[in-house]
Structure 1
């Protein structure tokens, strides 16, 4: 690892770097952040490279990052590795990359579809072993240590070296179009903000609740997500999932009854007890026709098992025909999304949700029609 990087300490320096990147047409980019008790990540450092220029931008020292956000919104190619959480930070600054090239995604398409970490890919392609000892350090502390700065700079130094080789390999393999499509789907996914009133659908244990219990859980989950967004609190620090399902099952109607809910933290009881009880009351008042739909446990259902087996075979055949690594065609989760969408999701709910991955994008173009026919047959 060279020490050929510099700190950007003034906004005009960042403007000059962004102008250079714009002229080059691409930049390698990474972020360091902390997310412990917050819903949203706290940005601690931005690393970037274009050409031979490596810079570290400290967002806590007064540098205005607006020029970088504007650059990402342009037609520049943003090169990242496993960009998911970085994209969340960009999205919150209205800076979704228009042209993302994710080296993890690219490598998956030109190999066997498996996901590899940055250090592993650098070692595999460049024969360089990276020091990952700083990955869990506090990126909000100041001053940052020399070891932290060197670690951060390495994340974009070698990323920039991986990019041209991986880009060429995707072209040679006829995969460039699919790789870029998958990258843009990842950008689009991170831009989605889930509907608070449907947050109950993502909570485990919902299959054990009655219609009345689901109505209560709907109110609790919507309240928790709304509060977490307003206060920037990680969901478990408001209340854990199983606490919400326990409340929806036991239906406490006073603070004493609420206080004996298993693992409800005393602080949460003190701060949010009245709000939780109000959610119970509102859920109980919902008429039966307004109860959320049932999502039963289906993994032991013979019909589901037959569908899943057939869906896996269909995806395998489609992947082989399109020369796409089979693991990238669809995961168990993505197959299950289709099953729940088709059998346990009302039309009015579908209008508020995004379609399953297998029904849209490049995957949908390959398999949507066949998957829809298959899942329809499973309950016929």
Structure 2
């Protein structure tokens, strides 16, 4: 297992074919205000790639964009709604089709209200992960080894968790429901960017 660090783009041919796990690190939780700093990506083969964007980045990244925009590659996320919005706003591509482990967890693990990535990794895989660097400064000139390992861990487990959650969705008869949710996520992300992040447009009021 190796964590590869890249500036401004992913090297060509860095990933195998098939689904990729994706996550982002930003300066905060307001997409249009808090810039995209890092995109993490893994093909599930044991390595993780971190693509860092500097403060003055033009977000060109043609190789990374090609992978993210590929309609034949499923992208695995935990809380895809946020990552899709950040990627589209800064990189200009919609990184779909989607499988979101948080949504799959909420549809299958109805016996708990703990759907964080750390919770899923512990229960489904029997492994532990540290969230100590979650709120660190991702816009710093130099990312520490602890930051890099934290970022890599956010995509390290998603392929294995997807496999388990797919079985559970099928078992509970909720595969089609989950897929409908996944298919809607690009529209949900665009609503967030457009200003409807805190409004339920399906509600009566």
Greater RCO (CA < 8 Å, at least 6 residues apart)? 2
Q: Report the number of matched residues.
A: 197
The answer on 1:107 being equivalent to 2:105 is yes
Q: Conserved in 2, the CA contact under 8 Å of 1:41 and 1:89?
A: no
Number of the residue aligned with 2:52: 58
Deviations along 1:129-153, one digit per CA (max 9) or x if unpaired, are 2111111100000211111111111
Distance of 2:168 and 2:63 partners within structure 1: 32
Distance of 2:30 and 2:155 partners within structure 1: 28
Structure 1 pair 115–74 and aligned structure 2 pair: CA distance change class (3 A): farther
The gaps in structure 2 that reach 5 residues or longer are none
SS of equivalent to 1:183: helix
The gaps in structure 1 that reach 5 residues or longer are 203-332, 341-380
Deviations along 1:282-304, one digit per CA (max 9) or x if unpaired, are xxxxxxxxxxxxxxxxxxxxxxx
What does 1:107-256 correspond to in 2, within 5 Å?
A: 107-112=105-110, 114=113, 116-192=115-191, 194=194
Q: Conserved in 2, the CA contact under 8 Å of 1:59 and 1:65?
A: no
From 20, 40, 47, the counterpart of 1:27: 20
Deviations along 1:165-188, one digit per CA (max 9) or x if unpaired, are 212322333322211110221221
Q: Conserved in 1, the CA contact under 8 Å of 2:8 and 2:51?
A: no
SS of equivalent to 1:14: coil
SS of equivalent to 1:31: strand
From 47, 65, 69, the counterpart of 1:69: 65
Distance of 2:182 and 2:2 partners within structure 1: 30
What does 1:311-330 correspond to in 2, within 5 Å?
A: none
What RMSD in Å do the two structures reach over aligned CA positions? 2.8
Structure 1 pair 35–152 and aligned structure 2 pair: CA distance change class (3 A): same
Q: Conserved in 1, the CA contact under 8 Å of 2:23 and 2:154?
A: yes
Deviations along 1:1-58, one digit per CA (max 9) or x if unpaired, are xx621112474x532125x2xx2x2001111110378843311111111032311111
Give the TM-score, by structure 2 length: 0.83
Distance of 2:125 and 2:14 partners within structure 1: 26
Structure 1 pair 181–143 and aligned structure 2 pair: CA distance change class (3 A): same
Distance of 2:194 and 2:31 partners within structure 1: 17
SS of equivalent to 1:16: coil
What does 1:305-316 correspond to in 2, within 5 Å?
A: none
Per-residue deviation at 1:77? 0.4
What does 1:258-273 correspond to in 2, within 5 Å?
A: none
Distance of 2:29 and 2:175 partners within structure 1: 37
Distance of 2:62 and 2:85 partners within structure 1: 16
The answer to which structure has the higher helix fraction is 1
Deviations along 1:288-329, one digit per CA (max 9) or x if unpaired, are xxxxxxxxxxxxxxxxxxxxxxxxxxxxxxxxxxxxxxxxxx
